[in-house]
A and B are shown apart, each in its own frame.
Chain A
Amino acid sequence: MTETPRAEPTGSFFQRNEFLIRRLHSLSGLVPVGAYMCVHLLTNASLSSGPEVFQNAVFAIHSIPFLPVVEWAFIFLPIIFHAVAGIWIARSGHSNVGRYRYASNRRYTWQRITGYIAFVFIFTHVFHLHGWFHADWWLKSVAEPIGMAQFRPYNAASSLAQAMGSLSIVWPIFYVIGVLACTFHLANGIWTAGITWGLWITPAAQRRASYACTAFGVLLSLAGLSSVVAVTRTDAAAAKEIEDQMYNVRVQGRMIQPDDHKRTDGHMNEHPKGPEPIIPQANAVGL
Chain B
Amino acid sequence: MASNRVLVVGGGLAGLSATMKLAELGIPVDLLSLTPVKRSHSVCAQGGINSVNDQTRQQGDSEWNHFDDTIYGGDFLQNQPPVKEMAYWAPKVIDLMDRLGVTFNRTPEGFIDRRRFGGTLYKRTAFAGATTGQQLLYALDEQVRRHEAAGLVKKYEFWDFLGPILDDGGRCVGAVAQDMVSMQIRSFPADAVVVATGGCGLIYGRSTMSVFCTGSAASRCFQAGAKYGNGEFIQVHPTAIPGADKLRLMSESARGEGGRVWVPRKPNDTRPPKSIPESERYYFLEERFPKYGNLVPRDIATREIFNICVNEGLSVDPNRMCVYLDLTHISRAELDRKLGGILEIYEKFQGVDPREEPMKIFPAVHYSMGGLWVDYEANSEGGLVPGSPRNQCTSIPGLYAIGECDYQYHGANRLGANSLLSCIFSGLFIGPGIVNWIKSNKASADLPKSVFERAVGVEEARHKKLLSNTSGGENPYLIHQELGDIMTRSATVVRYNDQLTDAYSKVTQMAEQARRCSLADTGNWTNQNVIFTKALQDMFPVAECILKGALMRDESRGAHYKPDFSMPSLTSTDPTARHREAEQWCDAFDENNRKFLKSSVCTWKGNEPDLKFEDIDTRLLPPRPRLYGLVGAEVIEQVWKERAEAKAREKASAPKELVGSA
Contacts and interface: CB of A to CB of B under 8 A. Distances in A.
Query: Do A and B touch (CB < 8 Å)?
Result: yes
Interface of A: 1-4
B147 interface: yes
B626 interface: no
Given A2-B150, A3-B146, A3-B149, 7 more contacts: A1-B146, A1-B147, A1-B150, A1-B152, A3-B150, A4-B149, A4-B150
Nearest to B149: A4
Contacts of B150: 1-4
Chain B contact-residue range equals under 10
Interface in B134-192: 146-147, 149-150, 152
A208 to B, nearest CB: 24
B569 to A, nearest CB: 59
Contacts of A3: 146, 149-150
Contacts of B147: 1
B654 to A, nearest CB: 56
B431 to A, nearest CB: 15
A58 B131 CA distance: 66
B28 to A, nearest CB: 13
Contacts of B149: 3-4
A2 B151 CA distance: 10
Nearest to A4: B149
A22 to B, nearest CB: 27
10 contacts: A1-B146, A1-B147, A1-B150, A1-B152, A2-B150, A3-B146, A3-B149, A3-B150, A4-B149, A4-B150
DSSP class of B's interface residues: helix, strand, loop or mixed? helix
Contacts of A2: 150
Contacts of A1: 146-147, 150, 152
B147 to A, nearest CB: 7
A2 B148 CA distance: 11
The 7 closest A-B pairs by CB, nearest first: A4-B149, A1-B150, A2-B150, A4-B150, A1-B147, A3-B150, A1-B146
B153 to A, nearest CB: 11
A2 B147 CA distance: 9
A4 B149 CA distance: 6
Contacts of B146: 1, 3
Contacts of B152: 1
B143 to A, nearest CB: 10
B328 to A, nearest CB: 29
A204 to B, nearest CB: 18
Nearest to A2: B150
A40 B149 CA distance: 54
A3 B147 CA distance: 9
B152 to A, nearest CB: 8
Question: Which of A1, A2, A4 is the most central at the interface, judged by chain B CB atoms within 10 Å of its CB?
Answer: A1
B400 to A, nearest CB: 24
Interface string B39-80: 000000000000000000000000000000000000000000
Nearest to B23: A1
A55 to B, nearest CB: 64
B155 to A, nearest CB: 15
Contacts of A4: 149-150
Interface string B111-153: 0000000000000000000000000000000000011011010
A2 B152 CA distance: 11
Interface in B475-512: none
B502 to A, nearest CB: 54
A1 B150 CA distance: 8
A1 B152 CA distance: 10
A3 B145 CA distance: 11
A4 B148 CA distance: 9
A1 B147 CA distance: 8
A4 to B, nearest CB: 4
A56 to B, nearest CB: 62
B25 to A, nearest CB: 12
A53 B150 CA distance: 70
By CB atoms of chain A within 10 A, which of B147, B149, B152 has the most?
A: B149
A4 B146 CA distance: 8
A4 B152 CA distance: 12
A4 B153 CA distance: 13
A3 B150 CA distance: 6
A4 B147 CA distance: 9
A1 to B, nearest CB: 5
Nearest to A1: B150
A3 B152 CA distance: 12
A2 B150 CA distance: 7
A79 to B, nearest CB: 44
A118 B149 CA distance: 46
B188 to A, nearest CB: 24
Interface string B380-409: 000000000000000000000000000000
B23 to A, nearest CB: 8
A128 B100 CA distance: 64
A1 B146 CA distance: 9
A165 to B, nearest CB: 62
B595 to A, nearest CB: 53
Task: Kindly name the residue among B147, B150, B152 whose own CB sees the greatest number of chain A CB atoms within 10 A.
Answer: B150
A18 to B, nearest CB: 23
A47 B20 CA distance: 73
B564 to A, nearest CB: 58
A2 B149 CA distance: 9
A181 B98 CA distance: 52
A178 B375 CA distance: 79
Nearest to B26: A1
Nearest to B145: A4
A3 B146 CA distance: 7
Nearest to B148: A4
A2 to B, nearest CB: 6
A90 B20 CA distance: 44
A2 B146 CA distance: 9
A281 to B, nearest CB: 70
A105 B281 CA distance: 51
Nearest to B152: A1
B145 to A, nearest CB: 10
A44 B329 CA distance: 65
B172 to A, nearest CB: 28
